[in-house]
Amino acid sequence: MSGPLVVLGDTLLDRDLEGRVERLSPDAPVPVVDEPTERRRPGGAGLAAALAAEQGRREVVLVTALAGDPAGRDLAALLAAAGVRVVDLGLAGRTPEKIRVRSEGRSLLRLDRGVEPGAVGAIDAGALRALALADAVLVSDYGRGLAADPTVRQALARVPSRVPLVWDPHPNGATPVVGVRLATPNRAETARLVPGVRGDSLAALTTQARAVAERWRAAGVAVTLGARGALLLVGDGSPMVVPARAATGGDPCGAGDCFVATATMLLAAGAVPSEAVAGAVVAASDFVAAGGAAAALAGRRRDGSRAGAAREDPAVGWERAEAVVAAVRARGGTVVATGGCFDLVHAGHVANLRAARALGDCLVVCVNSDASVRRLKGADRPLVGQADRASVLAALEFVDAVIVFEERTPEAALDRLRPDVFAKGGDHALADLPEAALLASWGGQAVILPYLPGRSTTRLMKEVVRRANSRSGR
């Protein structure tokens, strides 16, 4: 039987107040937030534990210190609802709270309460038992004293070397114990630790990561770079850079917790650090695009099976497409869609997709399924399966999301997306597009993009056959 994933660290209460902004206050140039609704969730180590539990792969135990005030009781209930088993060491003080005032997905103001750390109770038998049984340990240090407690550090130092220990540091937190499998400072934290190396080039980041690894005697250091992904350095080897997928809109709040929770879960399952970091970058990118922490525990994000090496491409599917569309609409942008079979993607496809993306603020590509292509093109098509075709398209920098549809034309998909513009490439006339009337029904516009002559999948296939026949002497 597999052991639990143990998260140890400081837990906060995160509160989002979301309302409408339609005017400025008459007594000051500040927005008036009408009828805000409140959403509460665990923050800090509590969020990392909740995100790990959401994946549903193993028991998650959170060793933390909760106060006895109303906010602390709220935290305990939220963690229990998320499926996290809490070992509470007790906090003599006030529950730290982080409050964001938001409108249309954007933060207007942040208020922090309980900023002074309180006294943490001594580590107990329950915490020691959890650490002894753990398949992996994540220290999520938010600088409030738990990771600096001498008895806690002694217990962490006794974690067997076979058990992955991941340390997510904080600028005001403790130095990791010796023997950490993976430390995950962000770019600013790394620069602060190594002030003699300036700049954020890959060479500078590598030098900083190597210095941090030596100082902390960590086996590996993954420097998280926000929208740029992460840089991983293990031992004396060359660095591995894992780029993040570009996200349109979204909310980065909690992305770091998603990253470390996913990386630790993958290490617990036997992944090597490179696999864990690669999976964590993908999961964090998807997390941001889907709305961040505000959406994560409300059931509007990926399911646990999508975290890790075996997950589907995060830019493919309705969840990603609808998140992208919602983010663009929230800031008044233009949603563009296009569609086609895209069997053997060629220069003509690329030119049309780039031109379509230039028409607005995001591009959703609707791809015919394999069955749909067979109905349109014949039994010998497609040459490339729908999953691979969608993945190739999703890899293009000007494609924000891809969905696969089963019908002959993407009208049902478009009716669900309701784009402002539908762009179609090729030798079509506007009157020939069945999608044109549908777009007009909600005020959208169908457009034709210039056709790049001499480029088509059929032409490529014929040329391959011609050359094969020529070589065989036929």
**Could you tell me which CATH class the domain 318-460 is placed in?**
alpha beta
- Return d(Cα 323, Cα 301) in angstroms, integer: 9
The residue that leads in pLDDT, 77 or 428, is 77
**Which of 14, 7, 82 has the alpha carbon at shortest distance from 42?**
14
- Which neighbouring-strand residues pair with 371? none
**What global pTM score does this model have?**
0.68
Distances (CA, A) of 50 to 261, 289, 336: 9, 19, 35
**Cα distance between residue 71 and residue 69, in whole Å:** 5
What percent of the chain has pLDDT above 90? 56
- Compute the mean pLDDT over every residue in the chain, rounded to the nearest whole number: 86
Asked if residue 362 has pLDDT above 90, the reply is: yes
Lowest mean pLDDT among 17-31, 56-70, 290-304, 412-426: 290-304
SS3 85: strand
Contact 288, 247 (CB under 8 A): yes
| Active site residues per annotation | 257
In terms of Cα–Cα distance, which of 365, 359, 358 is closest to 389? 365
CATH number of the structural domain 5-306: 3.40.1190.20
- Quick check: 223 pLDDT over 70? yes
Give 261-306 pLDDT, tens digit per residue: 999 999 998 999 999 999 999 889 888 888 888 777 764 333 333 3
In this structure, the chain runs to a length of 474
The pLDDT tens digits of the residues spanning 304-331 come to 333 333 345 567 889 889 989 998 998 8
- Residue 181 tokens read as 């499998």
Domain boundaries, the chain: 5-306, 318-460
